[in-house]
């Protein structure tokens, strides 16, 4: 834990590829790589926080058989073990016990692949996202991008919901819950039931809004480039996704100094670390 304020670093745990036209309408043929990025936040009072956990080897085990194998066919995944969340932490001489909190933006497989590597951590997510994930059957979950095998069996024993007890606030149209003076959970539903982001008002990289998969890039939010309706196949609720993007657009206009970072955006990938130092 450091005393010189909140420090954040970004990493990638590999990527999947998907048809570019699904997410950027009118962009023509071809495929785009979607990196599974996650963040390590060193906060002076809260400790070490992970925002999502990327892919891990467990993805391959979880998708070995039908119907989960469909996931590999639709979005082939490229992941090396040393790129896993735990792999990166080990390179920095950190152990799983060094992580105090894991924030799960939502339960898509590219965000929770490493979750089982942190059995001591407190897990923060929205009640809706957990209930939605647990309510899918083993046979239908994959059609929502969920692999139940990746979700720790004991999660309910150490899960915390921001809606339960944290002070609620509205900032420029976004609903938030205050975790500390400079960290807020952000309600970003649509892409996934109860998707959650993090707003960090002071970091070594300035004020940041981590908005997970609420949009595919900060540019899409700025210019209101909505994803193709094909995305509605994997989105929880397309109309809500559009309202969330509009709210983010409004927030960005009202707070131009805040850097919006999506999980799969190029701007986030450019901030990820390619060496062992942070």
- As beta bridge partners, residue 175 has 170
1 DSSP 8-state letter: -
Residues 70-99, one symbol each (x = binds Zn ion by CB under 5 A, - = not), give ------------------------------
Q: How far is the CB of 173 from Zn ion (least distance, A)?
A: 22
Residues in the interface with Zn ion (CB under 5 A) total: 2
Nearer to Zn ion by Cβ, of 6 and 262: the residue is 262
Residue 251: φ, ψ to 5°: -60, -45
Q: Which of 157, 146, 215 is nearest to 186 (CA)?
A: 215
- Beta carbon nearer to Zn ion, 182 or 213: 213
Interface positions, 222-241, toward Zn ion (CB under 5 A): none
Task: Give the nearer residue to Zn ion in terms of CB position, either 48 or 216.
Answer: 216
User: Which one of the spans 93-101, 103-111, 126-134, 148-156 is the region binding Zn ion (CB under 5 A)?
Assistant: 103-111
Q: What is the smallest separation between the CB atom of 45 and Zn ion, expressed in angstroms?
A: 29
Question: Distance of CA 89 to CAs 93, 112, 180, 276, Å?
Answer: 6, 16, 25, 9
3-state secondary structure of 106: coil
Q: What is the separation of C-alpha 57 from the centre of its chain, rounded to a whole number of angstroms?
A: 18
The alpha-carbon radius of gyration of the chain (Å, integer) is 17
CB of 109 to Zn ion, least distance (A): 9
> Least Å distance between CB 132 and Zn ion?
12
Nearer to Zn ion, 6 or 133 (CB): 133
Strand partners for 169:
176
SS3 content of the chain, % helix, strand, coil (to 5): 30, 25, 45
Per CB under 5 A, the segment of 13-21, 22-30, 57-65, 102-110 that binds Zn ion is 102-110
CB of 162 or CB of 227, closer to Zn ion:
227
Should residue 108 be labelled a site residue for Zn ion when binding is judged by CB under 5 A? yes
Burial 219-243 (b: 16+ CB within 10 A, else e): ebbeeebbbbeebeebbbeeebbee
Residues 211, 213, 217, 264: which binds Zn ion (CB under 5 A)? 213
The residues binding Zn ion (CB under 5 A) are 108, 213
């Amino acid at each position: 834990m450091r005393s010189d304020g909140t420090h954040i670093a970004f990493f990638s745990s590999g990527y999947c590829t998907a048809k570019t036209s699904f997410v950027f309408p009118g962009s023509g043929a071809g495929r785009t790589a979607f990196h599974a990025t996650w963040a390590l936040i060193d906060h002076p009072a809260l400790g070490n926080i992970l925002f999502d956990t990327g892919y891990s080897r467990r993805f391959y085990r979880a998708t070995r058989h039908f119907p989960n194998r469909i996931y590999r066919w639709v979005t082939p995944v490229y992941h090396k073990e040393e790129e896993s969340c735990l792999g990166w932490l080990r390179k920095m001489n950190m152990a799983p016990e060094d992580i105090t909190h894991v924030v799960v933006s939502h339960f898509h497989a590219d965000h929770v692949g490493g979750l089982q590597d942190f059995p001591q951590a407190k897990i923060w997510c929205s009640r809706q996202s957990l209930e939605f994930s647990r309510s899918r059957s083993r046979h239908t979950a994959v059609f929502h991008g969920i692999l139940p095998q990746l979700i720790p069996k004991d999660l309910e024993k150490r899960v915390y919901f921001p809606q339960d007890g944290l002070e609620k606030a509205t900032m420029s149209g976004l609903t938030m819950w205050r975790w500390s003076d400079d960290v807020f959970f952000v309600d970003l539903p649509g892409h996934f039931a109860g998707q959650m982001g993090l707003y960090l008002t002071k970091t070594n990289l300035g004020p940041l809004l981590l908005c997970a998969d609420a949009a595919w890039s900060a540019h899409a939010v700025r210019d209101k480039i909505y994803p193709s309706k094909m995305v509605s196949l994997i989105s929880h609720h397309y109309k809500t996704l559009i309202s969330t993007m509009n709210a983010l657009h409004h927030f960005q206009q009202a707070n131009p100094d805040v850097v919006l970072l999506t999980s799969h955006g190029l701007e986030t990938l450019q901030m990820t670390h390619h060496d062992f130092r942070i």
